[in-house]
Structure 1
Amino acid sequence: MFYSNESELENNLPAINEFYTNTLKKAYLSTAAGKLFYAYAKPKQAHTAIVISSGRIEGLDKYKELLWELYCNNFAVFIVDHQGQGRSYRLLKNPHKGHIKQFEDYSHDLNQFNLEVVKQHWQGKKLLLSHSMGGAIAFDYLARYSHDFSGAFLSAPMFDIHTKGIPKPVAQFIAASASLLGFSGCYALGQSDYTPEEFALNTLTSSQIRYDQFRATYQQTPLLQLGGVTYGWLHTVFSFIKALDKLSITTPLFIASAENDEVVDNQAQHKLASRHKNTLIKQFKGTKHELFFERDEIRQPLLTSLYKFCDSIG
C-alpha cells in the first residue's frame, strides 16, 4: 500500500492539487432544503468504493490528502459536505454558526447522496468511512435506512461529547431550555465565529504540517470556515446521544478510538461496541481527536487497520 508521509507532503502538494482539480468530479446535489457539494473519483483498477462522512468543521477541501491517497491505492472515493458545512448550504444568516434542525437531517442527506450519486457511479463493494460527527451520522444512517455497505470504519465517532467543565446534565438542560425559549439559532455559551487556534493550543492533531495545511486552506477560502455550535445544534445532538441505545445495526463496524481525545467521550464508544457483536474497537495511543490528520506513526497504523478491515468484510 502507498502511504502519504509528512516528510513528502509538501513535495506531493502539486500532485494532490492536480488530483483535486482535474480528477475529482465535483458537483452539487439538490435537496429539499438546499444544495450539497460533493465529489467522487474512480481509478481504472478500483476494487472498492469508500464513501466519506466527515466531521464537524470538515469537508472535501480538508480531505484532499486522504482522498488522493485512497485513489492511489485503487479505491473509488465519494464524499459529500454535510449541510451547514464546507461548500454546502448554510442554515442561518450567519454562515459561521454550526446549526441543524434535527440530527436525522444529516442521515437523510447521506441516504439521498448514496441513492442518487454513489449508486449511479458504483455497483461494487462499498465501505462507509467517517470521522467524529460524521461517525454519528454514519451510525444513524445505517440504523435507519436500507443500504448495501459491507462495513463502516468510524474514526473517533461522536457518540458522546465533552462539555468542557460544565456537567453534562446542566449542559443538556441549558441547551433544551434555550431551544424551547426560541434561542436555538444563537451561539451556545462560549461559542463564536471561526477562530483558528495556534498549533500549540489545538486539541485536534499533533501533526504540525497537517494542521497548518488545514488552517491555510480555510484561510485561503473563507467560504469553508465554520465557527462554534448553536443551542439548537447542541440540543439535537444531546437528543441523538440519548436515543443511541435504541438504535441497532448488524453492519460490521471498526471503531478507531483516540487515546487523548478532548472532543468526544471515548466511554460511549466502548459502551456501543460492547452491545454490538460485529464491532471491533481499537485505541490508538498518543492520539488526539483527528486520527486521519495525525503524525505518520499514528496515521499509518490507522490506515493499515482500515485496509485490513476492508479486506475482512467480504
Structure 2
Amino acid sequence: MSGGRGGHGGPDARDIVFVVFDGVKMLDVTGPAEVFADAHRFGARYRLGYVSPTGMPVRTSVGLRLPVDGAAESAPDPDTVIVAGGDVLAERPVAPDLVGAVRELAARSRRVVSICTGSFALAAAGLLDGRRATTHWQHASLLARTRPLVRVEPDALFVEDDGVFTSAGVSAGMDLALALLEQDHGPELTRTVARDLVMFMQRPGGQSQFSATLERRPPRTPSLRTVVDLVAARPDLDHSAPALAARVGVSPRQLTRMFATELQSTPARFVEQVRLDHARALLADGHGVAQVATRSGFGSAETMRRTFVNRLGLSPSQYRARFGTTRRGAEPRRTP
C-alpha cells in the first residue's frame, strides 16, 4: 500500500483504501486523501492505498492517469474504505466489477465512506438499504427514485448511519474526512490539520448544501413559478399557504398538490428552506442576527434560532462565527 505524504505509517497505522475507476472525479480522491496525509504528518499514523476493480490504472475526470496499488482483493483488511465519485456513476448503471470491489472491501472494513456520487456505488452494492444517505444535490432525486430503500437526505453535507458515511459533492468530502479524523483522534489534531489546509474546523454534517431548493429547475406551472419567484424575491412577506394561494387565485389544497407534484415539498417546507438560505447568506455577509431574522421572514430571532438548530445543528450566532465576515451590519461584540 502506498503511504502518500508521510510514508508507510508502521504496523499499527490505519489503512484507508480509496476505490477508484475510469472517470473518477479527481478532487473526490485527492481532497480527502490530503486530509489524512496531513494528519499523518502530524502523528495520526494513516496509511493510504488506492485500488481499482481491475487492478489497472484509471483515467480521472481531468484526464490524468492515476496509478493504483492493485485490485480490491489484494488490499489488506482496511480500517476505512472510501469510494470516490464520478459523473459516470449517476449517468449509467454502476459497473458490476465496481460493485463487487465495494462489497468485497466493505465486508472487511470498520467503516465505509462515499464521496459525492460514490453513494450510487454503495447503493448498488446494497450497503445503503434501510439507511440514511446523501449525495450531490443535483443527483439526490435520482438516487431516491432509483434506490427506494435508501432514505436520501438531499440537503446534508454528510450523513452517518451505523458506520456508513456518505457525503455531498466534491469539497464536502474534505469536511467528512475532517469529521472522521476527529472521530479517530479528537478535536485538537483535527483543528491543527484544518488550519494547515486553510479549512474550517468542520462544517456540520447537517448543514444544507448551497441553495439546493433554489437551484432546482423552475416549475412548469406558471402560477407555481409565480409563487416560487415571489418567495425567493421577498422571503420577508406573509407566505402562509392561504396567502400564497390567494395571490395566484388557487385554493390552498390545490397549491399544496402543485408543490408536491413539481417540487416534492410542501409550501411551508419550501418557504422555510428559502428563508434559511437567505438567512445563511446574510449571516455569512456579516449582518446581525436580529436584522437577519427580520429580513429573512422569520419574524423573531428565536424562531430563526430554532430553525437553524433543527436544520443545521447550530445556532445563527454559531453559523455566523464559522462562516461570517466582519463586514458592515455585524452586531458589535459585547464586552463582559
Q: TM-score range by the shorter chain?
A: under 0.3
Structure with higher Rg: it is 2
Which structure's relative contact order is higher, taking Cα pairs within 8 Å and 6+ residues apart? 1
TM-score (norm 2): 0.25
